[in-house]
Amino acid sequence: MKVSDALLARKSTRAFLERDVDPQLIQEILNLARHAPSGTNTQPWQVAVVRGETRKELTQARENAFREGIPGRMDYQYYPLQWNEPFKSRRRACGLLLYETLQISREDKQRQRDQWAANYRAFDAPVILFFFMERVMETGSYLDYGMFLQSIMLAAEALGLATCPQAALGEYPDLVRRRLGYPESSLLLAGMALGYADESAAINRYRTAREDPENFTRFYS
């Protein structure tokens, strides 16, 4: 698969088949992604591959915390504290389109809550990747990590697997660290659902719009 094809085919998958992923295939993805660039070759990534019973226990604990009303805070501020345009409208359109695709009405708060809870289960994907880095690292390492995550997603696409990068998987970081044995010095950035897409699921037909390059680009000569 060409890189251009992988870029166009990649999407955030939110329904997965009950089909396990060969650990060797996961290793192949990470072996490709490790070639992502990083400032002065710091390679700040630390990856936890979570499957099987550990996945079940951890996702259940996270969903329970959410349903008990415990706030799901992250180790860092992911979103702005105040939304401005055009970001406010884009965010709103993203959520409305998702609920429209699933035929969840604005008044149906229970189904909305259930759908949000699915985030903490990584949409029942058979594999969850959790991404950590040392707290001593600074803003540049977040940029490095973004390139690493995109490399994982493109490699997975080329190998026939589906992904969904999730900020929500970065919530309840203390719970994740305790269960996986990571120290407090390891910051949890985010997570990623990994598996085989259920193409029959309506939610996987959900697509968000992208701006045309002329709307965000200036050329200078």
Q: What is the mean pLDDT of residues 181-204?
A: 96
User: 8 is in which domain, residue-wise?
Assistant: 3-78+120-206
Is the pLDDT at 7 greater than 90? The verdict is yes
Domain for residue 14, yes or no? yes
Domain for residue 217, yes or no? no
Q: What is the mean pLDDT of residues 93-121?
A: 91
Task: Name the domain count of the chain.
Answer: 1
Helix, strand, or coil (residue 77):
coil
Model pTM greater than 0.75? yes
58-79: pLDDT as tens digits = 999 999 999 999 999 999 999 9
Q: What is the pLDDT of residue 1?
A: 87
Domain for residue 50, yes or no? yes
Domain for residue 162, yes or no? yes
Domain for residue 211, yes or no? no
Q: What is the mean pLDDT of residues 74-99?
A: 94
Contacts of residue 1, Cβ cutoff 8 Å, sequence gap at least 6: 9, 157, 158
122-175: pLDDT as tens digits = 999 999 999 999 999 999 999 999 999 999 999 999 999 999 999 999 999 999
| Phi, psi angles (nearest 5°) of residue 165 | -70, 135
Q: Is the peptide bond before 86 cis (omega within 30 degrees of 0)?
A: yes
Beta partners for residue 165, in sequence order: 192
Residues 154, 157: Cα–Cα separation, whole Å: 5
* CATH number of residue 155's parent domain: 3.40.109.10
